[in-house]
């Protein structure tokens, strides 16, 4: 008898979990653009005020995902209306969407690849008068193409200051830069500060690593990678 009760309980949990996950719908930039053209949409940008000021989708509200009262303010949104969320890559907005779904919101939409994808589609953004564009580790296209002509192997780390995984990778990249300083050139490029270049290269998420050897791409990686694993990759090309 206990066995059957356990099976029923498992089925209930699985059904409930599935029901929760289906409350969040992933959508792309084209779908969002079409939806916004109809008006009357609750659209929330969950990035920081600085990110928002430097370029946001028109008519979007702003709630800072990193603010201590973010959840409280998020749950003030109307429960009987669809809520559309976005950030830079879709990570923070997905976490925000899960908070809403867990608290009974039934119509939650997440821009899966964030405003980085929106930019790739040349869709319009609003830049606030008080915007202060980030300039740290900025790179223009001409500088980039000159850089990859280097004779040494070249590892480029595309990152963004707001990106948690990027911050996790930074000490790893710094350590490898010291370890391989004689064999490999390692450069960081700030995706937020280098939007024209990011668009030209069609980079849709960070962290993103690319390794050039003799002006050709020999290795790429999206997301976090461990220091030992990345070091093993570099060793292969040092020996070439």
Q: Which of the residues are catalytic?
A: 163, 166
Three-state DSSP state, 89: coil
Find the distance separating the first CA and the last CA of the chain, reported in whole Å: 65
Using omega within 30 degrees of 0 as the cis cutoff, is the peptide bond preceding 207 cis? Answer: yes
Other Cβ atoms within 10 Å of 129 Cβ, number? 5
What lies within 8 Å, CB to CB, of 208 at 6+ separation is: 157, 158, 220, 221, 222
Return the DSSP state at 48. -
Cβ-contact 120, 178 below 8 angstroms: no
> Which residues sit opposite 190 in a β-bridge?
159
Q: What angle do CA 184, 204, 154 make, to 5 degrees?
A: 10
């Amino acid at each position: 008898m206990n066995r059957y009760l356990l099976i029923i309980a498992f089925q209930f949990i699985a059904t409930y979990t599935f029901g929760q996950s289906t409350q969040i719908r992933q959508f792309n930039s084209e779908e969002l653009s079409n939806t916004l053209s109809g008006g009357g949409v609750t659209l929330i940008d969950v990035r920081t005020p600085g990110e928002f000021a430097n370029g946001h989708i028109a008519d979007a509200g702003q709630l800072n995902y990193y603010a201590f009262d973010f959840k409280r303010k998020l749950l003030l949104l109307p429960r009987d209306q669809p809520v559309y969320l976005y950030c830079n890559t879709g990570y923070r907005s997905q976490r925000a969407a899960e908070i809403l779904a867990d608290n009974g919101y039934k119509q939650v939409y997440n821009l899966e690849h964030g405003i980085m994808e929106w930019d790739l589609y040349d869709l319009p953004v609003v830049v606030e008068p008080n915007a202060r564009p980030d300039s740290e580790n900025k790179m223009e296209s001409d500088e980039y193409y000159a850089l990859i002509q280097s004779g040494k192997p070249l590892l480029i780390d595309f990152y963004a200051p707001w990106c948690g995984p990027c911050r996790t990778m930074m000490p790893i990249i710094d350590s490898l830069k010291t370890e391989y300083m004689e064999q490999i050139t390692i450069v960081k490029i700030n995706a937020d500060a280098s939007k024209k270049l990011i668009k030209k290269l069609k980079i849709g998420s960070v962290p993103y690593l690319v390794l050039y050897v003799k002006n050709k791409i020999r290795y790429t990686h999206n997301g976090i990678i461990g220091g030992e694993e990345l070091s093993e990759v570099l060793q292969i090309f040092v020996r070439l």
